[in-house]
Protein backbone atom coordinates (compact mmCIF):
# COMPACT_ATOMS: atom_id res chain seq x y z
CA UNK A 1 0.00 0.00 0.00
CA UNK A 2 1.07 3.54 -0.71
CA UNK A 3 1.44 5.81 2.28
CA UNK A 4 -0.01 9.25 1.71
CA UNK A 5 1.95 12.12 3.24
CA UNK A 6 0.40 13.64 6.32
CA UNK A 7 2.68 16.65 6.18
CA UNK A 8 4.58 18.75 3.68
CA UNK A 9 8.28 17.97 3.33
CA UNK A 10 10.59 20.96 3.65
CA UNK A 11 13.17 21.78 0.99
CA UNK A 12 16.09 19.35 1.30
CA UNK A 13 13.73 16.47 2.22
CA UNK A 14 11.51 13.97 0.43
CA UNK A 15 8.55 11.79 1.37
CA UNK A 16 9.71 8.22 1.98
CA UNK A 17 7.17 5.50 1.25
CA UNK A 18 9.33 3.09 3.26
CA UNK A 19 9.30 5.08 6.51
CA UNK A 20 6.10 7.05 5.99
CA UNK A 21 7.89 10.28 6.85
CA UNK A 22 10.01 13.08 5.43
CA UNK A 23 13.66 12.08 5.04
CA UNK A 24 16.76 14.07 4.06
CA UNK A 25 17.73 14.03 0.40
CA UNK A 26 20.71 11.67 -0.01
CA UNK A 27 24.26 12.82 -0.75
CA UNK A 28 24.53 13.88 -4.42
CA UNK A 29 20.92 15.09 -4.60
CA UNK A 30 18.84 18.11 -3.56
CA UNK A 31 15.26 19.30 -3.28
CA UNK A 32 14.89 23.05 -3.71
CA UNK A 33 11.21 23.33 -2.90
CA UNK A 34 8.76 22.56 -0.13
CA UNK A 35 6.65 19.61 -1.18
CA UNK A 36 2.97 19.85 -0.36
CA UNK A 37 1.29 16.88 1.24
CA UNK A 38 -1.63 17.06 -1.21
CA UNK A 39 0.38 17.27 -4.42
CA UNK A 40 1.87 14.47 -6.49
CA UNK A 41 4.64 13.68 -6.83
CA UNK A 42 4.83 14.36 -3.14
CA UNK A 43 8.48 15.01 -3.29
CA UNK A 44 11.56 14.18 -5.18
CA UNK A 45 15.24 14.80 -4.81
CA UNK A 46 16.96 15.95 -7.97
CA UNK A 47 20.37 14.67 -9.02
CA UNK A 48 23.46 16.85 -8.97
CA UNK A 49 25.21 16.64 -12.37
CA UNK A 50 28.25 14.43 -13.04
CA UNK A 51 31.43 15.85 -11.49
CA UNK A 52 29.42 17.50 -8.70
CA UNK A 53 27.89 16.33 -5.42
CA UNK A 54 26.04 17.70 -2.40
CA UNK A 55 25.79 17.08 1.33
CA UNK A 56 22.91 15.20 2.96
CA UNK A 57 19.70 17.27 3.04
CA UNK A 58 20.70 19.78 0.38
CA UNK A 59 18.04 22.27 -0.64
CA UNK A 60 19.62 24.35 -3.41
CA UNK A 61 21.09 22.78 -6.54
CA UNK A 62 22.82 26.00 -7.59
CA UNK A 63 24.81 26.40 -4.37
CA UNK A 64 24.71 22.93 -2.78
CA UNK A 65 25.89 20.91 -5.80
CA UNK A 66 29.58 21.64 -5.38
CA UNK A 67 32.38 20.66 -7.75
CA UNK A 68 34.30 17.58 -6.68
CA UNK A 69 37.76 18.70 -5.55
CA UNK A 70 40.95 17.62 -7.32
CA UNK A 71 41.80 14.01 -6.45
CA UNK A 72 38.11 13.04 -6.54
CA UNK A 73 35.40 12.48 -9.15
CA UNK A 74 31.65 11.88 -9.47
CA UNK A 75 31.12 9.43 -12.35
CA UNK A 76 27.33 9.66 -12.52
CA UNK A 77 24.66 12.23 -11.76
CA UNK A 78 23.60 11.97 -8.12
CA UNK A 79 26.76 10.27 -6.88
CA UNK A 80 29.08 11.28 -4.07
CA UNK A 81 32.58 12.54 -4.87
CA UNK A 82 34.87 9.49 -4.79
CA UNK A 83 38.62 9.47 -4.13
CA UNK A 84 40.68 8.44 -7.13
CA UNK A 85 42.05 4.92 -6.57
CA UNK A 86 45.75 4.38 -5.84
CA UNK A 87 47.66 4.73 -9.12
CA UNK A 88 45.08 7.13 -10.54
CA UNK A 89 44.92 10.94 -10.19
CA UNK A 90 42.84 13.98 -11.08
CA UNK A 91 44.26 17.50 -11.03
CA UNK A 92 41.01 19.23 -12.05
CA UNK A 93 37.90 19.99 -10.02
CA UNK A 94 34.47 18.93 -11.34
CA UNK A 95 35.85 15.66 -12.75
CA UNK A 96 33.88 12.64 -13.92
CA UNK A 97 36.88 10.27 -14.19
CA UNK A 98 40.41 9.82 -12.89
CA UNK A 99 43.51 9.38 -15.04
CA UNK A 100 45.97 6.48 -14.77
CA UNK A 101 49.49 7.35 -13.67
CA UNK A 102 52.03 6.43 -16.36
CA UNK A 103 54.43 3.54 -15.89
CA UNK A 104 57.20 4.38 -13.43
CA UNK A 105 54.91 6.69 -11.46
CA UNK A 106 52.23 6.22 -8.83
CA UNK A 107 50.03 7.98 -6.30
CA UNK A 108 47.99 7.19 -3.23
CA UNK A 109 44.19 7.27 -2.96
CA UNK A 110 42.83 10.75 -3.74
CA UNK A 111 45.94 11.71 -5.71
CA UNK A 112 46.12 15.09 -7.40
CA UNK A 113 49.34 14.28 -9.28
CA UNK A 114 51.63 11.29 -9.87
CA UNK A 115 55.12 11.02 -8.44
CA UNK A 116 58.13 9.04 -9.68
CA UNK A 117 58.58 5.71 -7.95
CA UNK A 118 61.76 5.67 -5.86
CA UNK A 119 64.60 3.14 -6.01
CA UNK A 120 63.43 -0.29 -4.85
CA UNK A 121 59.91 0.26 -6.25
CA UNK A 122 58.19 -0.05 -9.62
CA UNK A 123 54.89 0.70 -11.36
CA UNK A 124 53.60 -0.62 -14.66
CA UNK A 125 51.07 2.25 -14.80
CA UNK A 126 47.65 2.71 -13.22
CA UNK A 127 48.90 1.32 -9.93
CA UNK A 128 50.70 2.62 -6.84
CA UNK A 129 54.47 2.30 -6.60
CA UNK A 130 55.10 -1.24 -5.39
CA UNK A 131 58.08 -2.59 -3.44
CA UNK A 132 60.39 -4.96 -5.30
CA UNK A 133 59.89 -8.60 -4.34
CA UNK A 134 62.06 -10.03 -1.58
CA UNK A 135 65.42 -10.96 -3.10
CA UNK A 136 65.08 -8.52 -6.03
CA UNK A 137 66.17 -4.90 -6.22
CA UNK A 138 66.22 -1.87 -8.48
CA UNK A 139 68.64 1.00 -7.99
CA UNK A 140 67.01 3.40 -10.43
CA UNK A 141 63.94 5.53 -9.75
CA UNK A 142 60.94 5.42 -12.10
CA UNK A 143 61.16 1.70 -12.84
CA UNK A 144 58.39 0.60 -15.23
CA UNK A 145 58.75 -3.19 -14.96
CA UNK A 146 59.22 -5.76 -12.22
CA UNK A 147 62.52 -5.57 -10.37
CA UNK A 148 64.71 -8.31 -11.79
CA UNK A 149 68.13 -7.63 -10.27
CA UNK A 150 68.87 -10.50 -7.90
CA UNK A 151 70.51 -9.93 -4.56
CA UNK A 152 73.74 -11.92 -4.15
CA UNK A 153 73.65 -14.67 -1.55
pLDDT of 51 > 90? The answer is yes
* CA atoms of 139 and 117, how far apart (whole Å): 11
Q: What is the pLDDT of residue 36?
A: 56
CA dist., res. 45 & res. 150, Å (int): 59
Give yes or no for a contact between 47 and 29, defined as CB atoms under 8 angstroms apart: yes
Q: Which carries the bigger pLDDT value, residue 108 or residue 32?
A: 108
- The per-residue pLDDT for 13 is 87
Three-class DSSP category at 61: helix
pTM of the model as a whole: 0.79
Residues in the chain: 153
pLDDT tens digit sequence for 22-37: 889 999 998 887 665 5
Cβ(37)–Cβ(6) under 8 Å? yes
Nearest in space to 74 (alpha carbons), one of 50, 100, 46, 110: 50
pLDDT tens per residue, range 60-97: 777 889 999 999 999 999 999 999 999 999 999 999 99
| Concatenated DSSP letters of 67-134 | EPPTTEE--STTPPPEEPPTTEE--SSS-SS-EEPPTTEE--TTBSS-EEPPTTEE--SSS--EEPPT
Q: CB of 94 within 8 A of CB of 68?
A: yes
φ, ψ of residue 63 to 5 degrees: the values are: -100, -25
Amino acid sequence: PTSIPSQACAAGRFWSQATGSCEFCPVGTYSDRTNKADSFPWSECRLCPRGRSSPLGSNNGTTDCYACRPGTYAPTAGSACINCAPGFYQFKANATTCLACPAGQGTLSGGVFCYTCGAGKYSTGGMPCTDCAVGDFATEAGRTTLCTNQCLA
